Amino acid sequence: MANTDYSVPASAVHAVLREKGVNAVTTVPDFIQFALHDRLKNDPDMTYLECSAENQALTTAMGMYVGGLEPIVMMQNQGLLNCLNSLRSVGIDGSIPLVLFVGAFGREFSNLGQPLTDSRRVMVNRTQPVVEALGLPFYNLETPGDLPKVAEAFDTARATKRAAVVHFGYFPAWN
């Protein structure tokens, strides 16, 4: 497979977000999800808020959710590691069903198609174990065939009143 075969079209992800009623994004923008950021920031029906740090993206999203909006939170894997306590508080103790979109910054292309835990790079190979250690579901998008996992993440988060992580293992495509 060519590297680009691992890209999930950003338009398809955007369509799932619309279907799930998402109308807000809080983010510390990441190096992986550029195509999706571009679409969401330019969606007139989307409130898109850049934050200084991932803790703030999570708490602001919680405030939005309590106030009636349907936010997602976008960050990269380093950002996820940066905000674990806020994720514990908001996504578990607070019972807020936020879906986090996490980009796999630093993933070596030779790891594509292989388990994330086999990556040579700590920020890549520890992300899934850390999320699962918190007891939260982790959905890795490895190819376009994984797109149904996005909707599944929303369904699981909302049913369990807990956060869920959608992990972009490769750059989403600009189409």
Partner 1 sequence: MSMTNFQACGVIHQFRGDALITNTMSAMFAISAVSPSPLNLASVPLMGGASGLGLGLAIAQPNRQVMVLDGDSSLLMELGTLAQIGDVAPANFIHFVFNNSLQFSGVANLDRPGRNLDFCAVALGAGYASAQKIETPEALAAAMPELLEQNGPHMVELIIRAPEKFTHETPQPEIPELQFTRMGAESAAMMDALGTTR
Binding residues vs partner 1 (CB under 8 A): 24, 26, 47, 49-53, 55-69, 71, 85-86, 89-90, 93-96
Q: Using the minimum distance from each CB to partner 1, give the nearer residue, 98 or 173.
A: 98
Q: Using the minimum distance from each CB to partner 1, give the nearer residue, 42 or 52.
A: 52
Residues facing residue 166 across a β-bridge:
101, 139
**What's the closest the beta carbon of residue 67 comes to partner 1, in angstroms?**
3
Q: How far is CA 43 from CA 40, 125, 158, in A?
A: 5, 33, 24
**What's the closest the beta carbon of residue 82 comes to partner 1, in angstroms?**
12
Distance between start and end Cα atoms, the chain: 19
Q: Using the minimum distance from each CB to partner 1, give the nearer residue, 79 or 172.
A: 79
Q: Using the minimum distance from each CB to partner 1, give the nearer residue, 90 or 141.
A: 90
**What's the closest the beta carbon of residue 154 comes to partner 1, in angstroms?**
12
**What's the closest the beta carbon of residue 65 comes to partner 1, in angstroms?**
7
| Size of the chain, expressed as the number of residues it contains | 175
If you search the block for the tokens 């306590």, which residue do you land on? Answer: 85
DSSP letter at 163 equals: -
d(CA 173, CA 175): 6
